[in-house]
Each structure stands twice: as structure tokens, then as C-alpha cells.
Amino acid sequence: MKAGDVSGLIELITGAAPAKARADAAHELPRFSTEIEARHLDAAHSALTAATQDPDAEVRSSALFAWAELRWDDAVEHLMAAADDSEWIVRVFAVTLLGRSPEERVVVRLGAVLAGDPEGLVREAAASSLGELGDPAAVEPLRRAASEDPEREVRKAATAALKRLEKTRPS
């Protein structure tokens, strides 16, 4: 894709193209952030908003990637909402991407996911993201998961996240 292809990507995302093409287009959109900001902001924003509700999980995941890469003001809201997606793979993607957003509300949301998501892989990703964020408010949910989660991999991820937090604490 060259400069000037942003309109084509937006058309793919919002059109009747196969899911794989819509997902690929959403994934590519952040490469053109300068052009988007200059000429296509509203259309790109609308396309990605719609893509987060797409019936296909791969399209939703690619839209989340684009939100995270473009770092628009409402990106965190889209990622936090996707933490409740019906597909576990989209939830894993959302909580992993939230690990890039050091905000108090993100820590609270990831703690809730860690405590309550029915899928172990999602809880494991939430534990890792909490460790990446380095916020002391994550200690208690991580301790609880490290000792009480029914899945061994989640307990291991929570323990590793706690160790990362200990390294980042001021002495």
C-alpha cells in the first residue's frame, strides 16, 4: 500500500469484503497514521468503531490492534469494552493491548478480568499485562490469583507479574 490508499483500506474495512480482507485492512491502517490524521480521521475512526463490532473475531482483533497503535483518545475505551467480547481470543488480545496503557482504570479493569474471566488464557494475559503496567494497585489482585486461581498457568503468570512489580518498586 502506498500513500493515498487509506480510502481503499477504509472501504475494505467497512465493505462486504471477506473477513480476512477486512481484518488485514484494519491491521494495516496504523501504517498510515500521518495521512489519516491529515485527511481521513473521521472515516477511519468510524470504520474502526464498526470493526470492533464485526461478527468475525479476527476483524475485531485487528481493529483493536489498530486502536492501540493509533493511540486515539478513545482507544482505551474500545479495548476495555473488548475485554467482555464473546470470543476468548478477542479478550486475550484486548487485555494484552491494555498492558500498554498505564491508567488507573485499566489496572482496575484488568484486575476484574483476572478475578472473573471464565477462560484461563484470558486471566493469564490479564496477569501478564498487570505486571507490565508496574502499578502497585495490581499487587492485591495478582497475589489473590497467584494463590487461588484454579489454573496453574494463571498462578504462574500472576507470580511472575508480582516479581516484575517487586523489581520496579522503589527501594
For the stretch 31-51, pLDDT in tens is 999 999 899 999 999 999 999
Query: What is the distance, to the nearest Å, from the Cα of residue 11 to the centroid of all Cα atoms in its chain?
Result: 23
Spatial distance between the Cα atoms of 147 and 152, rounded to a whole number of angstroms: 10
Query: Residue 65's pLDDT band (boundaries 50, 70, 90)?
Result: very high
Q: Write the pLDDT tens digit of every residue in 141-155.
A: 999 999 999 999 999
pLDDT, residue 146, reads: 98
Of 114, 170, 119, the C-alpha closest to 143 is 114
pLDDT, residue 3, reads: 42
Mean pLDDT of 39-67: 97
Instruction: Report whether pLDDT(2) > 50.
Output: no
Spatial distance between the Cα atoms of 107 and 46, rounded to a whole number of angstroms: 27
Query: Residue 1's pLDDT band (boundaries 50, 70, 90)?
Result: very low
Q: Which three cell numbers stand for residue 118?
A: 471464565
Residue that the C-alpha cell 468510524 belongs to = 46
Instruction: Report whether pLDDT(29) > 90.
Output: yes
Q: Write the pLDDT tens digit of every residue in 84-137.
A: 999 999 999 999 999 999 999 999 999 999 999 999 999 999 999 999 999 999
- Domains belonging to the chain, first-starting first, are 1-72 (1.25.10), 74-171 (1.25.10.10)
Q: Residue 60 in contact with residue 90, Cβ under 8 Å?
A: yes
Q: Residue 10 in contact with residue 47, Cβ under 8 Å?
A: yes
Of 110, 101, 103, the C-alpha closest to 139 is 110
Q: Which amino acid is at 116?
A: G
Query: Residue 168's pLDDT band (boundaries 50, 70, 90)?
Result: confident
Q: Which of 16-25, 88-97, 100-109, 160-169 has the lowest mean pLDDT?
A: 160-169
